[in-house]
Structures are given as structure tokens and as C-alpha cells.
Amino acid sequence: MLRLAWLLLLLALPAMAQPVPLSLTAPRGELLLAWSDGRVMRGAELVGGTLTIGGQRVTLAAAQPDPEDRQNEIWLYRLRLADGAEFCEPDPKGERWALTLPDAAAPGGFRLTCSGGANGKCLRFGYPPWREWPGVGSLAPWYAACTNLVRAAYGGPERGWTRNGMPIDIYDRIGIQAPANDRGQHFEAGWAPEGAVCVAHVRVPENGGLAAVRAAAPRLAGRLGPAACTEARAAAWGALLFNRSPVRRQ
């Protein structure tokens, strides 16, 4: 994730003199620019504007609702630097979208992430942390579990054990993501906000096997390997999300 704050609420748009912009927010995924005359510009209305992020001048080149979001809350933004370079690296589809996240450290503020990172992927998987889901309430715990899952952060957020391009099948029991049931993939782990609740096999053996995971995360002792870690046991141990991946040998 690009941990960047929107540091300057200055947005320059063509043919705009007075009134002046007051605040730029993104409470639920969509950029909102409030003006001193009471108007609020949002989403695609902001295309062509420029703002300063972390000392860099950035142009908002495109904006669209995320076609994968069934709730029509999440927006995708194309950002370019002053020299024309893309702000985001490409995601698995080759696209370079920026997305917004509320910033708990700055009430009313937000952070920026890209569609190729774990945070952006989990927003698009359907787990935005601000959303309420029938029967479970806030999806914030599912979002935290999802970022661990995508990064293969078995022991917790501090360390990920995956690498770019690894195929995974993510699913839950609340009706957001369903398993693809690819015969080439097998149950890998169950996931909670603090990391994996158990691990049947590691995603990238070159980054460390089960013994390395046990050394890094002693709480998983007795919960490693396919005999100890099944989907049913993971659910009993509090897993919110589950995933499958190919079993790879080092």
C-alpha cells in the first residue's frame, strides 16, 4: 500500500476562480470536494484537477465507479505525475487505479492505495472497512483478514510470505466471495484480523516452509500442515476468510 496522506487540499480546475475549495474528503470511497458556496463536486466531476500529494503535483486523469462493486460506493482514479508518469504500478489486469481509504489516524482524512496492492485488492474483493454487512455488522475485521490473506501474512501484518503473481482463491461464509473450486488449488489457510488461524501449506515455499512459519509465529504451533489445518477447523478457530492456492514444492 502507498501510505500517502492527501497533504494539501488544493485542487485547481479550469475556469474556477471564486468560490474557493474548502475540503477534500472520501468518507466511503468517492472523492468529495466541498466549496465555499455550498456546492460539492464528486467523482468524475473532478477529472482534470490537480492536487499535491506528499509534495508531488498529481493530475486526476480519469475517474469511474468500480464495476466490480455491487454497492456502487468504490471509485477508481487514474493519477499522473507532473512528468506524465503513472502514479500507480499495474495490477494483475495491467490497470493502474488509485483508490481511497479512510484514515483512522486523521478523522475525516483518507489515505491512498493502488489496485495492485493488498489494500486495493481487498476493497475490490468486497470488504471495504466502512461497510456494514447483514448479519455481521462492520466489515472492518474481514478487511483486515483479507489484507493478511493477500500478503500471506501468516503471523500477522508485519511480514508477508507471498510474492507478486501468485494465484489464490479467496472465499468467505457471509456471501461476498464464493470459492472457485479449481481442482489445481488446495486449502491453504484460514484468516483473521491478526493473521492466519492455521496453515495447511505455504503459498511460496521459497519464502519459507511451515517450520519457518512456526518459528516466526509460535501461536500457530499445532495448527500447521494439512492434517491439522482444515477449513472446518479454521472456522472453529475463528477464521473469517479462507483461501486455496496451488501446492508448490521447493
Per-residue pLDDT of 17-30, as tens digits, reads 588 888 999 989 99
What is the grid cell recorded at 54? 506528499
- Given a contact cutoff of 8 angstroms between Cβ atoms, the answer to whether 100 and 31 are in contact is yes
Domain ranges of the chain: 1-117, 126-250
Which has more confidence, 1 or 224? 224
Cα torsion angle, 19, 25, 27, 28, sign: positive
Give the model's confidence band at 153: pLDDT under 50 very low, under 70 low, under 90 confident, else very high: very high
For residue 219, give the C-alpha cell.
Answer: 501461536
Round the average pLDDT of the chain to a whole number and report it: 91
Is the pLDDT reported for residue 11 higher than 80? no
Determine which helix (DSSP H) or strand (DSSP E) holds 75, and give its type and residue range. Answer: strand 75-81
pLDDT at 5 over 70: no
- The predicted structure's pLDDT at residue 10: 40
In the prediction, which pLDDT does 250 show?
62
H/E element, 33: strand 32-35
Give 19 or 154, the one with higher predicted confidence: 154
Closest by Cα among 106, 146, 148, 154 to 129 = 146
Distance CA 148, CA 122 (A): 10
Check whether 45 has a pLDDT greater than 70: yes
pLDDT band at 7 (very low <50, low <70, confident <90, very high): very low
* Residue 113, pLDDT score: 94
Residues in CB range of 149: below 8 A, 6 or more apart: 168, 170, 189, 191, 241, 243
Amino acid at 11: L
pLDDT of amino acid 26: 92
Q: Which helix (H) or strand (E) covers residue 101, if one does? A: strand 98-102
pLDDT of residue 1 exceeding 50, the answer is no
Residue identified by cell 489515505 is: 111
Residue 87: other Cβ atoms inside 10 A: 22
State yes or no: pLDDT of 4 exceeds 50.
no
Q: Give the whole-angstrom CA distance, residue 211 versus residue 35.
A: 57
Instruction: Please tell me the predicted confidence (pLDDT) of residue 17.
Output: 56
Average pLDDT over residues 81-102: 94
Q: Is the per-residue pLDDT at 223 higher than 60? A: yes
Task: Please determine, for residue 194, whether its predicted confidence score (pLDDT) is greater than 50.
Answer: yes
3-state helix, strand, coil in the chain (%, to 5): 15, 30, 50
Residue 21, SS3? strand
Residue 146: DSSP 8-state: H
- Taking the C-alpha atoms of residue 209 and residue 231, their distance in angstroms, rounded to an integer, is 20
